[in-house]
């Protein structure tokens, strides 16, 4: 499913993908880490949100491996 979302993003020309998850969701953290996402600071609507301190944020740049048809 993550691969499909990444391909759709690449088809739309998006150059950066970001995700948020709860630190109590080890499967989601493993999915992000295993898919090449790196930890980052809060972004977008999470900036300045006190609840964001209870979240983890990840980012991945799109590349040739996310091209349509993969």
Which of the two residues, 10 and 65, has the higher pLDDT score?
10
Of the two residues 12 and 65, the one the predictor is more confident about is 12
Any idea which architecture 2-66 has in CATH? 3-Layer(aba) Sandwich (3.40)
The pLDDT tens digits of the residues spanning 9-37 come to 989 999 999 999 999 999 999 999 999 99
- List the domain boundaries for the chain: 2-66
pLDDT band at 68 (very low <50, low <70, confident <90, very high): very low
In 1-70, the DSSP E strands lie at 16-21, 38-40, 56-61
Residue-wise pLDDT tens digits, 37-62: 999 999 999 999 999 999 999 999 97
State how far the Cα of 25 lies from the Cα of 56, in Å rounded to an integer. 10
Q: How many residues does the chain have?
A: 70
User: 30 vs 8, 23, 25, 26, 38, CA distance in Å?
Assistant: 22, 11, 9, 6, 11
Backbone angles phi and psi of 59, in degrees to 5: -145, 150
């Amino acid at each position: 499913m993550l691969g499909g979302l990444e391909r759709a993003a690449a088809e739309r020309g998006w150059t950066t993908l970001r995700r948020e998850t709860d630190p109590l969701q080890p499967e989601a953290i493993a999915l992000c880490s295993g898919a090449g996402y790196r930890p980052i600071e809060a972004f977008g609507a999470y900036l300045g949100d006190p609840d964001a301190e209870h979240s983890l944020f990840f980012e991945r740049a799109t590349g040739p491996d996310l091209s349509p048809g993969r």
